């Protein structure tokens, strides 16, 4: 684990912290600690304006290369930015899918024309993105997608038909990157394309999915003869799997350290309530708090280990990244259970509809989904076995 911070990095840390302190004021003060997991429905318009305030200060896309409009920050400085952002209690980012996934993918795999068309809107915080991967029959098994894209030579456009599901913030997004089959006879990883699709057009229908928390940040998205310009496929037809896997590499990137600072904020809130209601004197609760603290430190050290190793410009990371999703989602689910146990019976009661959940009640209900979306825990274990341990998909019995 080679990641360390220089004197210059610490000056950068002060710059970030000072800017956040100066700008999380006025209309943005109410956004502190809002908009995270289970709370993404909160203050959507204010958080869009916050995205643009970040852009004005030069604090979007800090890790992008300068030639694409970013600051070109080192890994160390990116870690600092995400840590200080979370430490300040700054709100959940509505532009994170564009900045952290779509943008780096377009930089790594896209054409100069695609980069010129799409990167400026992400940088300025004025164009938001969502992810069109999961389908009713292809959630964790992404290679099972059924959405189809056929090329119409007369119109010089791709025509997309199908359905996506669990699409976060689709109702707020301007664009969606969509995995679809360019070869209708193909199966599995082959014959896929990676498309950049405009959401505001005929044939796109977004239906909110109400969750157990009563909110609807997830959506179903239907594509009915939706058009995509010929130049808006990333890579060639058939390259979709390669591009999609590159994108998932970016998802396991440096922003994981910021996620962990958000986790620390949640753990701090759990500890605060335990001290207030006396549950901190319960030996079993104290042990669970200690375990949560220790495992969060382990999560950080593993992230530093994978970030300090060799990573490719295509998003590829070391094998340590394979365990990250399984580890954090299981930890977060356990934190939710700890939170509701510390709240006691009062935490399990709501007076009457419309129900208004406390922050920890919402956490408890929402974290159940952490071990499902983005690849369920069962799928993550298969990936670790097959790609990390090089075990065969089917055991050979003798």
Dihedral sign computed on CA atoms, order 124, 128, 133, 139: positive
Q: Please give the backbone phi and psi of residue 341, each rounded to the nearest 5 degrees, phi first.
A: -70, -35
Tokens 């100069």, located at residue: 112
- 80, containing H or E segment: helix 75-87
Dihedral sign computed on CA atoms, order 19, 21, 22, 27: positive
- Sequence-ordered list of residues with C-beta below 8 angstroms from that of 297, at least 6 positions apart, any chain: none
- DSSP track, 156-195: TEEEEEEEE-S-TTGGG-SEEEEEEESSTT--TTSSEEEE
HSE-up of residue 174 (Cα within 13 Å, Cβ side):
12
User: Taking the mean position of all CA atoms in its chain, how far away is CA 330?
Assistant: 16
Q: Please give the backbone phi and psi of residue 56, each rounded to the nearest 5 degrees, phi first.
A: -60, -35
Nearest residue to 246 (alpha-carbon basis) of 177, 186, 199: 177
Q: From CA 81, how far away is CA 161, in angstroms rounded?
A: 40
Which residue of the set 99, 227, 251, 266 is catalytic?
Answer: 251
**What are the E-state strand segments in the chain?**
129-132, 148-152, 157-164, 175-181, 192-198, 204-208, 219-229, 233-234
Tokens standing for residue 114:
């695609």
Nearest residue to 111 (alpha-carbon basis) of 229, 235, 194: 235
Q: From CA 232, how far away is CA 257, in angstroms rounded?
A: 32
Tokens 């709501």, located at residue: 350
Establish whether 337 is a catalytic residue.
no
Catalytic residues: 251
């Amino acid at each position: 684990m080679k990641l360390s911070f220089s004197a210059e990095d610490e000056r950068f840390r002060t710059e970030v912290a000072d800017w956040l302190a100066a700008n999380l004021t006025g209309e943005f003060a109410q956004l502190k600690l809002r908009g995270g997991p289970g709370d993404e429905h909160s203050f959507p318009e204010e958080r869009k304006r916050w995205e643009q305030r970040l852009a004005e200060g030069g604090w979007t896309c800090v890790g992008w290369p300068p030639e694409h409009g970013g600051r070109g920050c080192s890994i160390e400085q990116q870690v600092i930015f995400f840590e200080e952002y979370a430490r300040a209690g700054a709100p959940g980012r509505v532009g994170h899918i564009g900045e952290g996934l779509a943008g780096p993918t377009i930089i790594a795999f896209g054409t100069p024309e695609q980069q010129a068309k799409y990167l400026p809107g992400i940088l300025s915080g004025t164009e938001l993105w969502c992810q069109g991967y999961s389908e009713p029959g292809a959630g964790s098994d992404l290679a099972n997608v059924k959405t189809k894209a056929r090329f119409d030579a007369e119109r010089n456009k791709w025509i997309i038909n199908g359905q996506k599901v669990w699409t976060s913030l689709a109702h707020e997004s301007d664009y969606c990157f969509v995995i679809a089959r360019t070869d209708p006879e193909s199966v599995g990883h082959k014959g896929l394309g990676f498309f950049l699709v405009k959401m505001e057009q005929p044939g796109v229908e977004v239906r909110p999915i109400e969750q157990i928390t009563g909110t609807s940040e997830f959506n179903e998205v239907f594509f009915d003869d939706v058009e995509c310009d010929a130049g808006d496929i990333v890579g060639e037809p058939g390259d979709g799997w390669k591009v999609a896997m590159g994108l998932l590499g970016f998802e396991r990137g440096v922003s994981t350290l910021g996620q962990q600072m958000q986790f620390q904020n949640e753990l701090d809130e759990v500890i605060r309530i335990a001290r207030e209601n006396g549950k901190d004197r319960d030996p079993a609760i104290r042990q669970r708090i200690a375990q949560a603290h220790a495992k969060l430190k382990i999560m950080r050290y593993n992230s530093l280990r994978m970030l300090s190793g060799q990573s490719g410009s295509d998003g590829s990371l070391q094998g340590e990244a394979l365990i990250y999703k399984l580890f954090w989602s299981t930890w977060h689910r356990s934190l939710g259970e700890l939170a509701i146990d510390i709240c006691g019976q009062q935490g399990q009661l709501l007076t009457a509809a419309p129900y208004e959940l406390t922050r920890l009640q919402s956490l408890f209900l929402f974290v159940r989904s952490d071990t499902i979306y983005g690849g369920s825990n069962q799928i993550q274990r298969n990936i670790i076995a097959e790609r990390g341990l090089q075990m065969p998909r089917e055991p050979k019995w003798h």
